[in-house]
Amino acid sequence: MSHPNHTIASQTENGKAGLAVRIAKGLVKKATKSNMDLWKAILDWRNTPTEGMDRVQRDI
């Protein structure tokens, strides 16, 4: 029995998972740096409108 490490189709899924991990790590860093509650930081991130905004505008 052999277990493949990756498939061609899973590379995009892995990219999305990697992006989610990077976002979560950034939220944790910002919350701990500003002494903010982690759950409040997550709620603030989820409630931020992103349509029609550039990436730079979202980071402000």
Q: Tell me the domain boundaries of the chain.
A: 10-59
CA separation, residue 4 to residues 12, 14, 19, 21, 23 (Å)? 16, 14, 23, 23, 28
The pTM for the full model equals 0.54
- pLDDT single digits (tens) 43-57: 888 777 767 777 776
Task: Look at residue 25 in the predicted model and tell me its pLDDT.
Answer: 92
Residue 6: what residue type?
H
> CB neighbours of 30 closer than 8 A, spacing ≥ 6?
36, 41
Residue 33, pLDDT > 90, answer yes
